[in-house]
Amino acid sequence: MIGWVALCPRPGLAQTRYTITDLGTLRGSSGYSQGFGINASGDVTGLSLNQSGLYRGFLYHGGSMTDLGTLGSFLPSVGFGINASRQVTGYSYLSDDTSQNAFLYDSGTIVSLGTLGGSQSFG
């Protein structure tokens, strides 16, 4: 026997509303960006092309996008998660360009969180 259930909002319940915002890019009017994490205040993290045409993690807050930088490599960094304090976690390549390390970005500083003995970690 197959049963079906229809879910309908109850009358009088508030409808959830969403706003779509064009975040722009680190590169300005041309380029690419993709958001991966958002907090309750609407701050966003992800990756974007910067002025040099390199992919970098970003923090979007208050209408502007900040480049998170890297852990010393020219290879990409990516922001995946963001909390209420606007701390971002993600990954970046190290200066040896072979290891990916989880990072914590907080108030303008990016710090490696290391690995558990391997060559990769992700925040």
Beta strand extents in 1-119 (DSSP E only): 33-38, 44-49, 55-61, 64-67, 72-82, 88-94, 100-106, 109-114
Average pLDDT (20-49) is 91
The pTM score is: 0.83
Largest CA distance in the chain: 60
Average pLDDT (89-116) is 92
Quickly state the pLDDT bin for 92 (edges 50, 70, 90). Answer: very high
- The strands making up 72-82's β-sheet, listed across from edge to edge, are 72-82, 88-94, 100-106, 109-114
Strand, coil or helix: 62: coil
- At residue 99, the pLDDT reads 86
Rounded Cα gap, residues 6 and 111, in angstroms = 49
Average pLDDT value for the chain = 88
**Residue 46 φ/ψ, nearest 5 degrees:** 175, -140
Average pLDDT (77-88) is 98
Lowest mean pLDDT among 18-32, 41-55, 71-85: 18-32
- Burial class (CB within 10 angstroms; exposed 0-12, middle 13-18, buried 19+) of 9: exposed
- At residue 1, the pLDDT reads 44
The position carrying tokens 């391997």 is 118
* pLDDT tens figures, 32-46: 899 999 999 999 999
Residue 43: both structure tokens together? 């701050």
Q: Is the pLDDT of residue 2 over 70?
A: no
